[in-house]
Copies of this chain bind each other. A is one copy, B any other.
Amino acid sequence: MEIITSNQNSRVKIWTSLQTLKGREKSGTYMLDGWHLVQEALNQAAPIQAVIATEEQMDQHLIDVPQGVPAFQVSEEVARHIAKTNTPQGIFAQTSLPNNSFDPKYVHNGSWLLLDRIQDPGNVGTLIRTADAAGFSGVALSKESADPFNPKVVRAMQGSQFHLKLVKEVDLNDWVDKLEANDYNVYGSTLSENSVDYKTVVPEKNFALILGNEGQGIDPEIQAKTSENLHINFLGKAESLNVAVAGGILMFALN
């Protein structure tokens, strides 16, 4: 097994480039950090380009890595460089990005979460993890949303990218039109003149829920073509909820 001790190594340069969108798109891969995520990728038979680990982590986990998956041992310093933190666990997997081509006209079954320009990586990751827990089939992210393979999103998703379909940089206008053409109810989440309390909606098997940008909410053009817009009634004085919390409340109530 190759042992890498220099941050100048050409593989290390590729691995650190995965911290950026450009680096991920160029290589068609992203990084999983920590055994919990690496193990989930192995369990779900995700396409892994390389397992990278410090000596200590390699000793513990190499036995669980299938033959044929290239393994590289790295120094603690290289591990910190790849993780961009001072205290990485010391095991990583370079993993292929999923195929992003997906046409909503083929969606006839299962619930979908649509994210309109959600920008905080922690919110995006938590929403995808919550959609997974609530049994959604997929999450589609508009342009200007945080990239779902950004390291902060990957940490917050906790492996949910292996359990549901993720599609990024979608045209939400097109998605809403096609889902509605397939008899989906598409719910906006917003407080407006015509919005209704989410508690009055009867749960369904197949629907789509749109959540909007942290500051601006859902694009008015998209909001105008939803089947219904839902709001959450507040009993207290807070002006708003965190979008990941609001999303959790709506996903678990509707599904």
Q: Which residues of A are in contact with B by a Cβ distance under 8 Å? A: 122, 126, 129-136, 156, 158-160, 163-164, 232, 234-242, 244-249, 252-253, 255
Contact = CB atoms under 8 A, between A and B. Distances in A.
19 contacts: A122-B122, A126-B242, A126-B245, A129-B241, A130-B242, A132-B238, A133-B238, A133-B241, A134-B234, A158-B240, A160-B237, A160-B238, A235-B255, A242-B248, A244-B244, A245-B247, A248-B248, A248-B249, A249-B252
6 closest cross-chain pairs (CB), A and B: A135-B235, A245-B248, A133-B238, A132-B238, A163-B237, A132-B236
A130 B130 CA distance: 17
Contacts of A236: 131-136, 160, 163-164
A241 B130 contact: yes
B132 A237 contact: yes
Contacts of A159: 238
A83 to B, nearest CB: 19
A159 B240 CA distance: 11
A206 to B, nearest CB: 13
Contacts of A246: 248
Nearest to A36: B239
B136 A238 contact: no
A244 B244 CA distance: 9
Contacts of A136: 236
Contact of A234 (B135, B235, B244, B253): B135
A234 B122 contact: no
A141 to B, nearest CB: 18
Nearest to A199: B252
Nearest to A135: B235
Contacts of A242: 126, 129-130, 156, 244, 248
Contacts of A244: 126, 242, 244-245
Most chain B Cβ neighbours within 10 Å, of A133, A159, A163, A240: A133
